[in-house]
Amino acid sequence: MRVLGVEGTAWCASAAVFDAETDAVFIESDAYEPDSGGIHPREAAEHMGDAIPQVIETALEHARDEYDDRTGDEPPVDAVAFSRGPGLGPCLRIVATAARALAGSLDVPLVGVNHMVAHLEIGRHRAGFDSPVCLNASGANAHLLGFHDGRYRVLGETMDTGVGNALDKFTRHVGWSHPGGPKIESHAKDGEFVELPYVVKGMDFSFSGIMSAAKAAYDDGVPVEDVCFSLQEHVFAMLTEVSERALSLTGTDELVLGGGVGQNARLREMLAAMCEQRGAEFHAPEPRFLRDNAGMIAVLGAKMAAAGDTIAIADSAIDANFRPDQVPVTWREGESVARVPAPGDADLRGAEATVEIRGAEVVKRRLPKAYRHPELDATLRRDRTVAEARLLASARKAGVPTPLVHDVDVSEATLTMQYVGDCDLAAALTPDRARTVGGHLARLHEAGIVHGDPTTRNVRVESEAERLSLIDFGLGFSSDHVEDYAMDLHVFEQSVQGTARDADPLVDAVEAGYREVGDEEVLARLRGVEGRGRYQ
């Protein structure tokens, strides 16, 4: 099968030809470069209108010249694929119109591709991985995806802005032109570490605070090289940490990187170091497949077309807010990113710590992370150890079962605690147990405690007594904000949806348990948190 792909979600007009038999990909791109500031939607659309016909013609000429197996009136390609979204509406409409016209004139099927799923699939395709976690790090996007139960599930995502756009906000403040990421990378080579905010909420994260702090540091006279260096060390460490949390939650040992920010050498270095330390495999495609490109559209388009997943022209409307978890995955069967352990299995390798069982006790050690800057790493390990010890005791006073802490060694970031439970909740999840967790979270919140990372791997089940204990409060904190409580619920429900079969009744049970004990306002705010995701 041979497919022509067309990409134009924002700044890059691109066309490509993919030949499935040889795995060869030809890409022709024409990127929009604004004179100043960031991407201007009107100018981007004008560029797209001028450039798309030219890049398509170049790709068609390549198909005609490179392949001589077609005779007579046979079209040079078997299908036309295009990016339906997410992206800038005016740009997407231009690309869709061109793709429809081309498919019609060639009399071949039309395939509508989700741009973000294409970022994931090109990495999986080039790596040869089975079912990896994918970190997508691009201009308008930042999220973790994994295939489960027929769709790509969002395991974690930014709660405000995409990573590339966040970095661009700082470079625009400094007065540098778009794109800002490469300029930050260049200046960071001469920088030194300064402390900035670090915000991780389970597998979700936020960039607004760190960007405000970076601008303020620059305005206060901190050398721009130091701010750039520290932006990279904090932002990319956040992305690497949540990637490791996704590996830990799902149990998979494969990670792929997608998106234009993935061209940054420091980000790739961090992810590779994390995977090496963890014993996982990591793959970053070559740069031409990381930045926005039609090659990934053509490759995924070929998989979809082979599965019969084509669309009629009348049904090919673009969707500027096309979430990856809205896409029915027709080209994959019988696979899942989730490797949930069976009851009784002992997987003691978490995302940030190891656990050693000593009879009725466990010793939890937060080991140094090779990917993080030493100062940042030391601060996080120390602060999280102290927070966990304090919040475990506070939660127990609030009526929530937690292990007793026997000893704390802050210098070694080590806790000695009571051993609780027979297995993780991930291995024994039922609606009744989900309901119990909902009640536990409500009691925490009534006491002004935020768990910070409530997932199905951070709840222990004692089957005989039917007792559920919450563990791993390292990301927890005290708060009286409804928003923080809603985020706790959101994190737990994401972990259920990303790993459990028939997740909807389980999520309903969590909220029913929360409603019995907690504040209805938190559940109302949860709906707002869900709607705030960048990929809505």
> What is the predicted pLDDT for the residue at 188?
97
Cα 282 to Cα 256: distance, rounded to the nearest angstrom:
6
> What is the predicted pLDDT for the residue at 132?
95
Cα 27 to Cα 41: distance, rounded to the nearest angstrom:
24
The DSSP symbol for 418 reads: E
Same topology, domains 2-121+290-326 and 354-531? Answer is: no
Decide yes or no: CATH 3.30.1520.10 for domain 125-287: no
Decide yes or no: CATH 1.10.8.50 for domain 354-531: no
* Ranges of residues in the chain whose predicted pLDDT is under 70: 35-38, 70-72, 340-349, 532-536
Q: Which residues are catalytic?
A: 453
We find that the CATH architecture of domain 2-121+290-326 is 2-Layer Sandwich (3.30)
Domain boundaries, the chain: 2-121+290-326, 125-287, 354-531
pTM over 0.85: yes
What is the tens place of the pLDDT at every residue in 415-443? 999 999 999 999 999 999 999 999 999 99
What is the tens place of the pLDDT at every residue in 340-394? 555 555 455 678 899 999 999 999 999 999 999 999 999 999 999 999 999 999 9
Contact between 281 and 50 (Cβ < 8 Å): no
Q: Locate the DSSP E strands across 32-99.
A: 79-85
Element (H, E) at 115: helix 115-127
DSSP states of 279-328: T-EEE---HHHHSS-HHHHHHHHHHHHHTT--B-GGG----TT--GGGS-
Cα 64 to Cα 2: distance, rounded to the nearest angstrom:
12
